[in-house]
Amino acid sequence: MNDYYKKFEKPIVFAVKHKNLITRLNSRSGGIFTAISDYVLDDGGVVYGCILDEKFNAVHIRADNKLERDKMMGSKYIQSNIGDTLKKVRLDLDAGKKVLFTGTSCQVAGLLKFIGESNQNLLCVDIVCHGVPSSKVLHKYIRWQEKKVGSPCVGIDFRNKKDYGWSSHIETLVFANGTKISSEVFKNLFYGHQCLRPACYKCPFKNIVHPGDITIADYWGIDKAAPGFNDNKGVSLVLINNKFGNEIFEKLKNIEYKKCRIEDSMQPPLEAPFPEPKNRSKFWTDFERKSFNYLAARYGGNSFLSRTKHTIKKIFVKFLK
Ligand SMILES: Cc1cc2nc3c(=O)[nH]c(=O)nc-3n(C[C@H](O)[C@H](O)[C@H](O)COP(=O)(O)OP(=O)(O)OC[C@H]3O[C@@H](n4cnc5c(N)ncnc54)[C@H](O)[C@@H]3O)c2cc1C
Ligand code: SF4
């Protein structure tokens, strides 16, 4: 493999914040995706990434402008349907276009296998990935909330950073009648791991060697790695994996960054896959046979006790603001 694309033994590590606060608040972590995709779009290129469609399916789309690209901002914690994206990327590369592809590490690895060899016009950015839940779980959850509210859901923020800060993990659903519901039920189902796709329990990318030229994540452990850099509005962990990724990083605009050590930047998904829970098949049997009320209480932390704790936490967070 060309030295330019060869992976470093250890990535170069940066903590990054986008200088535009609105951009950062609309992004999951520090807004590094926007900085990288701005560079590619300004250079006449196209961007591939994941959006949530009107039926709450995560799908990959192609964007050749910032308005379309903005729909890719924010994490959608379900499996994204890649559709015919790989073929479209090849057509763009054949036409001499510069392409940024973003997605989970397995999606990036799949694209690189499909393309066959490194291409100077193809920049790949993968996300450090906890795992992806089946979209069936999200859809059943939304229908449950819709029934309670009596109005269709029109939007979901999987991790509402604007109201609760970067470090908390609370999802907010917005309904057609104007109601807003903040909850941790879907988050708890996600972290329970029963609803992850089977491949995630054997994920080969749970280490510091990643298929992307650049890998991006939430910078958990930032206070130790770069004291004073965290303002609870989001910091991206950026792993530069080869010379190509480094050259692109040096060209990025509107970012504030600090060089860090990989040893201070580790988090569980950089170490090993999460094991398959023993009760995974029981969860899926319950999912098919029982009501969502039951699932939420049994697996989603929505028992009476957890609901009370959640209410106290919400009041506490609002009080501290
Ligand atoms: C399913 C999932 C699990 C994650 N797990 C972790 C984790 O364990 N630890 C951690 O530190 N970070 C994790 N992240 C990454 C993190 O949440 C941010 O994606 C990352 O920090 C980039 O944020 P940003 O501020 O640069 O930009 P944002 O604007 O928030 O980034 C959006 C980027 O995420 C991509 N994206 C969004 N949803 C999906 C999806 N479902 N499938 C594929 N690509 C998607 C978009 O294409 C775009 O490139 C996860 C993200 C997802 C989607
Ligand atoms: S955990 Fe691994 S296998 Fe699962 S979606 Fe993420 S990168 Fe792919």
Q: Give, rounded to a whole angstrom, the gap between the first and last alpha carbons of the chain.
A: 52
**Pairing state between β 214-218 and 236-240:** antiparallel
Give the pLDDT score at 298.
95
Distance CA 245, CA 125 (A): 9
Q: Look at the alpha carbons of 91, 96, 102, 104 in this order and tell me if their dihedral is positive or negative.
A: positive
Distance CA 266, CA 127 (A): 14
Phi then psi for residue 219, to 5 deg, are: -90, 75
Q: Which ligand is nearest to the CA of 215?
A: 1
Give the pLDDT score at 308.
74
Atom of ligand 2 nearest to the CA of 273: 1
Give the pLDDT score at 262.
97
Cα of 75 vs centre of ligand 1, distance in Å, is 5
Give the pLDDT score at 314.
64
Give the pLDDT score at 46.
98
The region, left, alpha or beta by phi > 0 then psi within -120 to 50, assigned to residue 156 is beta
Give the pLDDT score at 30.
98
Ligand 2 pocket: which of 129, 130, 190, 207 to mutate (most atoms <8 Å of CB)?
129
Cα of 274 vs centre of ligand 2, distance in Å, is 11
Looking at the chain, list the stretches that DSSP marks H as alpha helix, in order from N- to C-terminal side.
21-26, 32-42, 66-70, 85-94, 105-115, 135-149, 161-164, 185-192, 222-225, 243-251, 280-289, 292-298, 304-320
Predicted structure pTM score? 0.95
Distance CA 39, CA 37 (A): 5
User: With a cut of 70, which residues of the chain have pLDDT below it?
Assistant: 1, 303-304, 306-307, 310, 313-321
- Find tokens 């690209």 and name the residue: 69
Give the pLDDT score at 313.
67
- Please tell me whether residue 183 adopts helix, strand or coil conformation: strand
Distance CA 108, CA 113 (A): 9
Give the pLDDT score at 301.
87
Distance CA 47, CA 26 (A): 18
Cα 198 to its chain centre, rounded Å, is 18
Q: Which helix (H) or strand (E) holds 48?
A: strand 46-52
Give 112-138 as a DSSP string: HHHH-S--TTEEEEEE-----B-HHHH
Q: Enumerate residues 6+ apart whose C-beta is below 8 A from 36.
A: 100, 123, 125, 214, 248, 252
- Ligand 2, CB within 6 Å, residue ranges: 104-106, 129, 131-132, 197, 199-200, 203, 205
Give the pLDDT score at 302.
82
- Ligand 1, CB within 6 Å, residue ranges: 27-34, 49-50, 58, 72-78, 80, 102-104, 127-130, 132, 216-218, 236, 267, 269
